């Protein structure tokens, strides 16, 4: 699977680093679905902090929520493979998380009076949902559509990097730039998937 602009070493290294923790949690009876729900709740809390313009605690909480999203997959693999419901739950939680973070960006943009941040959040929200929809619809037609420069994990890394640097350095423009970049990557990825499916279905 392509990780887009995110180096494969980073993505695979993060997943590999979760394996020992996943094994320990599995031994304690923790399930992948439980981590999925917990990760969603953490992300919702982080989004609320972001909407309230508390960027540093928002970054810390959202980082934990994002790592939980990686951990649930590792737990599923340790348990011998996830269930169909687990896959559905994980995908649904991802969409809710994405919507919460985008809504927080829009709210923050409105509070700050920053039109670029507000519209970047809106475009990113719509485009990211369309990226997921394009993949789901393509797969219902028998076409695998995971192509694109901005899959979800790459967009999350860019978003959190911008947020973290902005909070630590006190440079709000870094987060605005990250939000705009995420919106552009999402839009480009959508166009790439549409073109890919069009070629495949000819």
Active-site residue numbers? Answer: 94
Contact 158, 178 (CB under 8 A): yes
Torsion of CA 9, 97, 134, 181, to 10 degrees: -60
Comparing CA positions, the residue from 75, 98, 80 lying closest to residue 15 is 75
Q: Which token pair is 135?
A: 């993949």
CA–centroid distance for 193 within its chain:
18
Contact 130, 187 (CB under 8 A): no
**Nearest-angstrom CA–CA distance, 179 and 90:** 24
Contact 168, 120 (CB under 8 A): no
85: buried, middle or exposed (CB in 10 Å: 19+, 13-18, 0-12)?
A: exposed
Q: Which token pair is 91?
A: 């995908």
DSSP-derived 3-state class of residue 146 = coil
């Amino acid at each position: 699977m392509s990780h887009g602009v995110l180096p494969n070493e980073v993505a695979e290294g993060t997943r590999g680093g979760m394996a020992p923790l996943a094994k320990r949690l599995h031994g304690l009876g923790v399930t992948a679905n439980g981590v999925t729900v917990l990760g969603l709740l953490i992300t919702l809390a982080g989004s609320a902090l972001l909407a309230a313009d508390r960027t540093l605690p928002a970054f810390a909480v959202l980082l934990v929520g994002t790592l939980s999203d990686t951990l649930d997959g590792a737990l599923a693999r340790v348990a011998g493979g996830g269930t169909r419901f687990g896959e559905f739950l994980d995908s649904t939680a991802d969409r809710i998380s994405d919507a919460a973070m985008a809504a927080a960006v829009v709210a923050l943009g409105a509070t700050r009076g920053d039109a670029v941040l507000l519209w970047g959040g809106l475009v990113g929200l719509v485009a990211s949902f369309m990226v997921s929809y394009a993949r789901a619809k393509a797969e219902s037609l028998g076409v695998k559509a995971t192509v694109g420069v901005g899959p979800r994990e790459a967009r999350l890394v860019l978003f959190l990097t911008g947020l973290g640097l902005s909070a630590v350095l006190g440079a709000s423009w870094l987060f605005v730039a990250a939000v705009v970049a995420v919106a552009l990557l999402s839009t480009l990825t959508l166009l790439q998937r549409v073109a890919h499916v069009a070629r495949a279905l000819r």
